[in-house]
Amino acid sequence: MKKEHIEAKKVIGIWVRTSNHEEQGIQDIQALWGRFMSEGIPNRIPGVLNTTIYSIYTEYEGDYTEPYTTVLGCEVDSLEDIPVGMKGLEIGGGDYTKLTATGNVKEGAIGSKWMEIWQSDLDRKYTTDFEVYDERAQNPDDVVVDIFVAIN
């Protein structure tokens, strides 16, 4: 774990409201990823700055056991033109703890890192947390995904 200061980023993408109750989040987020890829969502987002995909966790009703919103999207230059059915948001700048998940996505590489986060003593803000899927995440059998958790 490493503390980093992050500059604000604007992101547009598709979203789902979910919770971690009875693994609902896993099902909903997998379905969101399926839609994101099958519908070519990155190609429909205006003003995309790069090919990195962000999986953002925000609008928490409490801690990780309560409902939250997940947004899958791309960084953009502006939030002025948000397509119908998509959501625009800003990942707030500030202090984050950076963790890195590695391994096979289908074998739970990302989920197991989140379980580690949930069981940690991080002083979380529960504002906006996010995962970064860049060129190191192209092979689902051997991904490297950075996870940024907002901290006080």
- What pLDDT, on the 0 to 100 scale, is given for residue 85? 95
With contact defined as beta carbons under 8 Å apart, do 39 and 99 qualify? no
Report which of 30, 35, 4 is spatially closest to residue 111, judged by C-alpha positions.
30
pLDDT in tens, 102-143: 999 989 999 999 999 999 999 999 999 999 999 999 999 999
Q: DSSP string of 90-139? A: EE--EEEEEEEEEE-GGGTHHHHHHHHHHTS---B--SEEEEEE-GGGS-
pLDDT in tens, 93-107: 999 999 999 999 989
How far is CA 41 from its chain centroid? 15
Q: Which residues pair with 3 in a beta bridge?
A: 97
With contact defined as beta carbons under 8 Å apart, do 92 and 127 qualify? yes
Residue 51 phi, psi (nearest 5): -95, 0
pLDDT in tens, 22-49: 889 999 999 999 999 999 999 999 999 9
Residues 6+ apart with CB under 8 A from 109: 101, 102, 103, 143, 145
